[in-house]
Structure 1
Amino acid sequence: MLNILSILIGVFALLLGLPAFLPLLGWAWWFILPVAAVGALVGQLSASRTGRNFNLLLMLIGVIRLSLGGGIF
């Protein structure tokens, strides 16, 4: 059950993150990363690793996007 909740949190973070790939909206990842971190924490409490890994991947993508934009763009 926690794995499904973690995946749902990850999908929510992904939906929030899609517009953040547009130029000048990269700052939105500062708000999306904590959502993905909560999803990874919930996924860590689960017996399965799928939700945790999905959220960790989203966090990695967000950090790369922030680094490319200098943390702002």
Structure 2
Amino acid sequence: MLNILSYLLGIISLIVVIPATIPLLGWANWLALPVIVIGVVLGALSSRDGGRNFCLIVGLIAVVRLSLGGGIL
């Protein structure tokens, strides 16, 4: 059950992260990062690793985008 919740949080945050790759929308990644962290924690508490890994990949995309934009853009 925790793995499914982790996947759901990952999908919700991915919906926010994809449009945030557009210039001047990078601030939306800051909204997605707490949701990603919660998804990673729930995935770590689960017996399976799929949801955690999915959230980590989405988090990596968000962090790379933030670093390219200087943290804000």
Q: Which runs of 5+ in 2 are unaligned?
A: none
TM-score by length of 1: 0.96
Q: TM-score, normalised by structure 2?
A: 0.96
Cα RMSD (Å): 0.6
The AA in structure 1 aligned to 2:32 is I
Question: Which residue does 2:70 correspond to in 1?
Answer: 70
> In the alignment, what sits opposite 2:2?
2
Match of 1:21 in 2: 21
- 1:72 CA drift (Å): 0.8
Report the 3-state secondary structure (helix = DSSP H, G, I; strand = E; otherwise coil) of the residue aligned with 1:56.
helix
Q: CA deviation at 1:18?
A: 1.4
Partner Cα separation in structure 2 for residue 62 and residue 19 of structure 1:
11
Partners of 2:13 and 2:35 in 1: CA distance = 6
Identity %: 56
**What displacement does 1:13 show?**
0.4
Runs of 4+ in 1 over 4 A off after TM superposition: none
Count of residue correspondences:
73
Q: Which runs of 5+ in 1 are unaligned?
A: none
Residues of 2 paired with 1:9 and 1:32: CA distance? 10
**Partner AA of 2:68 in structure 1:** L
Give, in angstroms, the shift of residue 62 of structure 1: 0.7
Kindly provide the amino acid, as one letter, of the partner of residue 12 in structure 2. F
Deviation of 1:69 (Å) = 0.3
